[in-house]
Amino acid sequence: MNKSLLIAWIAALLATLGSLYFSEIMKFVPCTLCWYQRILMYPMAIILGIAFYKNDLRIYQYTLPLSILGFLISGYHYLHQKVPALQDASLCSSGVPCSGYYINWLGFITIPLLAFTAFTIITICLFVLRSKRA
């Protein structure tokens, strides 16, 4: 059993279930950047689970690009929310604005920060997995 792979899978699974909870139970409508993050996270919950079951230690080759891109998008999204100078109204011109937020726990924990944390954990675990393979 590889702990890095297990942690990455659990992070992806929790992020996926959390986003589904926010949208399906709490009825929070995802913005455009949230959809991009979901597009990157949801497949990783499945792919990393299969990789963990099969003990496929080379999975980083396929999932690392997804996690890095998700890391960048969620990081930008969080900055877009919290830094007024980065709040471009044309970014999410239809539907829910990307600069808005449904939760703001402790004044700084928002949904994009939760996604950023998950992508960070997954990315670190995949780099650890990659370094063990080298």
Domain that holds residue 71: 3-133
- The 10s digit of each residue's pLDDT in 44-76 is 999 999 999 999 999 999 999 999 999 999 999
Q: How confident is the model over 116-129, as a mean pLDDT?
A: 98
d(CA 46, CA 15): 12
**Residues facing residue 105 across a β-bridge:** 109
pLDDT-derived band at 84, boundaries 50, 70, 90: confident
Tell me, letter by letter, the H, E, C secondary structure of the chain: CCHHHHHHHHHHHHHHHHHHHHHHHCCCCCCHHHHHHHHHHHHHHHHHHHHHHHCCCCCHHHHHHHHHHHHHHHHHHHHHHHCHHHCCCCCCCCCCCCCCCCCCECCCECHHHHHHHHHHHHHHHHHHHHHHHC
Minimal CA–CA distance to 75: which of 9, 41, 119, 15?
Answer: 119
User: What CATH number should be reported for the domain holding residue 107?
Assistant: 1.20.1550
Minimal CA–CA distance to 127: which of 58, 60, 73, 75?
Answer: 60
What proportion of the chain, given as a percentage, has pLDDT over 90? 84
Q: How confident is the model over 14-38, as a mean pLDDT?
A: 96
- The 10s digit of each residue's pLDDT in 100-122 is 889 999 999 999 999 999 999 99
Note the pTM of the prediction, 2 decimals.
Answer: 0.95
pLDDT at 5: 97
Q: How many domains does the chain have?
A: 1
